[in-house]
C-alpha cells in the first residue's frame, strides 16, 4: 500500500506517493518542454531562420524578421494565459495541462517539417509565424498550470520544495536546447545545417511530446480542485449558481469566495514576479550581449557563465524551496531581494574588472540569488496567494504580464541607458529597482506558508 501524501485542512482528497510522483514529473517535464521549445526557436531564429525563411532580404533585415517571429510568441502567451487560465479554473487543471502540452509539442514538431522559402515562397514564413503563435498560445498557461497542479498536489509541509520542481524544469529545458544546438553547430557544416540539420532539434522534441502526453493522460485531477465547494461533477458553478446554492445551504464559504474584492493579491503577485522576471532579462539576456559587444569579451564567456549558473541552480532552487517551507515565504523573499540589491553594484564591478574568472563568478552568483532563487519562491507563493476559484487565471496573467513588462522591456531599456550614459551603472541600478519592487511586495504580502488551498478567496 502506498502512503497518503495529501491530507490538507478542509478534507482535501488524498493522493498516494505514486500520484504525487506523476504530478511532479509531469510538472517538471511540461516546464522543461516549454523552455526547451522556446530556446530551440530563439536559437534557430538567431542562427538559421533568417537564411532559410527570409533569404531575399539583407542579412540585417532577415535577422530582424526572424526575431520578430520569435517575438509574436509573447503576444500569443498572454492570450493563452487568459483562455486556458479561465478554462483551468472552470473544468479542471488536468484537462488544460493536456491541451497545453499537446499544442506546444505539436507546433514545435511541425516546425521541423516546414517547407523553406526556396520551396514554397512567402507561404513558408507565414506558416512559421502561425506555428509560433500556436506554440506561444499553449505555453501561456503551461508554467502556470504546472505550478498550480504541483502546489495543489503537494503535502502542506513540503509544498515549497515540491513546487520548486517547476523552476528546475526551466533549467532543464534551456540547457537541453542549448546543448543540442551546440552539438549540431560543432559537428555539421554550414551547408548541412541549412539543408537539413536545423530540423533535427524540432523533430526530436516529438519523443518528449509522446511521453508527456501519455503521462498527463494518466494523471489524476488536482485534489484541491475536486474538493472546491463550488465544483459539482467536475465543473465549477457559475456565479448565479453559487449564489443560489449559498442561499439554500447558508454556505458562508461560498459567499466569501464571491464577495471578496479582487485585485490586491494580483498586484502583490505581479510585484513578486517583477523582480525575478526583470533580473532574468538583465542577467540572462542583456548582460550576455553587453559583455560581448561593449566589453569586447568573447561571447562564449558569458554564455558559459549562464550554463554554470544554471547547473548550480539545480542545488539552489530546491534549497530555497526547503528554506521557504522551514521559515516561511516572506522572510526568504526579503533576504534574497536584499542580497540581490546589495550585490548589484559589486556584481557589475566584477564583470567590468577585466578578469574573466571574476566575471563568471559574478554572473553565477547573480543568477542564483536574483533569478533562480526568487523563481523557486515564486512558484509556490503566487499559487498560495490566490483563492482556488480563480487561482489558475490570476497566476497565469501575473506571470505573463510581469514577463512582458520586465523581461521583454528591461533589456531594451538597459541598452538605451547604457548607450546614453556610456557606463554600466544603469544595469546595477535597474537590478536594484526590480528587486526593490519585489521587496516591497514581500513586505506587504501576507505569509502564505501552510495556507488551505481549497479556500475560494484570495490570501489578501
Alpha carbon distance 30, 36 (integer Å): 10
Alpha carbon distance 396, 49 (integer Å): 30
Can you give the pLDDT at residue 63?
Answer: 53
Q: What is the pLDDT of residues 348-361, one digit of tens each?
A: 999 999 999 999 99
Can you give the pLDDT at residue 60?
Answer: 58
| Mean pLDDT for all residues in the chain | 85
Tell me phi and psi for residue 352, to 5 degrees: -95, 10
Alpha carbon distance 83, 88 (integer Å): 9
Tell me phi and psi for residue 238, to 5 degrees: -75, 170
Q: What is the pLDDT of residues 126-172, one digit of tens each?
A: 888 888 889 889 888 888 899 999 999 989 999 999 998 888 888 88
Collect all residues with Cβ–Cβ distance below 8 Å to 439 and sequence separation of at least 6. Answer: 275, 333, 334, 337, 338, 341
Collect all residues with Cβ–Cβ distance below 8 Å to 135 and sequence separation of at least 6. Answer: 37, 38, 41, 73, 76, 103, 104, 107, 108, 111
Q: CB burial class (10 A; 0-12, 13-18, 19+) of residue 46? A: middle
Which pLDDT band holds residue 10 (cuts at 50, 70, 90)? very low
Structural domains of the chain sorted by starting position, each given as residue range(s) with its CATH number in brackets: 17-227 (1.20.1250.20), 260-444 (1.20.1250.20)
Q: Is the pLDDT of residue 3 over 50?
A: no
Q: What is the pLDDT of residues 80-117, one digit of tens each?
A: 999 999 999 999 898 899 999 999 889 989 999 999 88
Q: CB burial class (10 A; 0-12, 13-18, 19+) of residue 97? A: buried
Alpha carbon distance 349, 83 (integer Å): 44
Can you give the pLDDT at residue 37?
Answer: 81
DSSP summary character for residue 164: T
Amino acid at each position: 500500500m502506498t502512503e497518503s501524501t495529501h491530507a490538507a485542512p478542509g478534507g482535501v482528497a488524498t493522493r498516494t506517493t505514486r500520484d504525487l510522483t506523476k504530478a511532479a514529473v509531469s510538472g517538471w517535464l511540461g516546464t522543461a518542454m516549454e523552455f526547451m521549445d522556446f530556446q530551440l526557436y530563439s536559437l534557430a531564429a538567431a542562427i538559421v531562420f533568417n537564411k532559410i525563411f527570409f533569404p531575399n532580404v539583407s542579412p540585417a533585415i532577415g535577422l530582424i524578421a526572424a526575431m520578430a517571429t520569435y517575438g509574436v510568441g509573447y503576444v500569443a502567451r498572454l492570450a493563452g494565459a487568459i483562455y486556458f487560465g479561465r478554462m483551468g479554473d472552470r473544468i479542471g487543471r488536468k484537462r488544460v495541462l493536456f491541451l497545453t502540452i499537446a499544442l506546444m509539442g505539436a507546433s514545435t514538431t511541425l516546425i521541423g517539417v516546414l517547407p523553406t522559402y526556396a520551396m514554397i515562397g512567402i507561404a513558408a514564413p507565414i506558416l512559421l509565424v502561425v506555428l509560433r503563435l500556436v506554440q506561444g498560445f499553449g505555453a501561456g498557461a503551461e508554467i502556470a498550470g504546472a505550478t498550480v497542479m504541483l502546489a495543489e498536489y503537494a503535502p502542506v509541509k513540503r509544498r515549497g520544495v515540491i513546487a520548486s520542481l517547476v523552476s528546475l524544469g526551466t533549467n532543464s529545458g534551456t540547457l537541453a536546447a542549448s546543448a543540442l544546438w551546440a552539438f549540431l553547430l560543432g559537428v555539421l557544416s554550414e551547408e548541412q545545417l541549412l539543408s537539413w540539420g536545423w530540423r533535427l532539434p524540432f523533430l526530436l522534441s516529438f519523443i518528449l511530446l509522446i511521453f508527456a502526453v501519455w503521462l498527463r493522460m494518466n494523471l489524476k485531477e488536482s485534489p484541491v480542485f475536486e474538493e472546491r465547494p463550488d465544483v459539482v461533477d467536475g465543473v465549477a458553478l457559475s456565479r448565479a449558481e453559487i449564489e443560489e446554492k449559498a442561499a439554500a445551504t447558508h454556505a458562508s464559504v461560498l459567499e466569501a469566495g464571491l464577495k471578496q474584492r479582487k485585485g490586491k493579491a494580483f498586484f502583490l503577485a505581479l510585484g513578486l514576479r517583477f523582480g525575478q522576471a526583470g533580473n532574468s532579462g538583465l542577467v540572462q539576456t542583456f548582460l550576455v550581449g553587453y559583455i560581448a559587444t561593449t566589453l569586447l569579451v568573447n561571447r562564449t564567456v558569458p554564455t558559459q557563465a549562464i550554463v554554470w549558473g544554471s547547473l548550480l541552480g539545480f542545488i539552489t532552487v530546491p534549497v530555497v524551496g526547503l528554506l521557504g517551507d522551514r521559515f516561511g515565504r516572506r522572510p526568504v523573499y526579503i533576504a534574497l531581494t536584499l542580497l540581490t540589491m546589495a550585490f548589484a553594484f559589486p556584481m557589475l564591478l566584477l564583470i567590468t574588472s577585466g578578469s574573466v574568472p571574476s566575471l563568471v563568478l559574478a554572473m553565477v552568483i547573480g543568477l542564483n540569488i536574483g533569478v533562480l532563487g526568487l523563481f523557486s519562491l515564486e512558484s509556490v507563493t503566487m499559487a498560495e496567494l490566490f483563492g482556488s476559484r480563480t487561482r489558475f487565471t490570476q497566476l497565469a496573467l501575473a506571470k505573463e504580464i510581469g514577463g512582458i513588462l520586465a523581461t521583454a522591456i528591461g533589456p531594451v531599456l538597459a541598452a538605451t541607458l547604457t548607450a546614453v550614459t556610456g557606463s554600466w551603472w544603469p544595469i546595477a541600478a535597474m537590478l536594484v529597482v526590480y528587486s526593490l519592487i519585489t521587496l516591497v511586495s514581500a513586505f506587504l504580502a501576507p505569509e502564505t506558508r501552510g495556507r488551505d488551498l481549497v479556500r475560494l478567496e484570495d490570501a489578501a
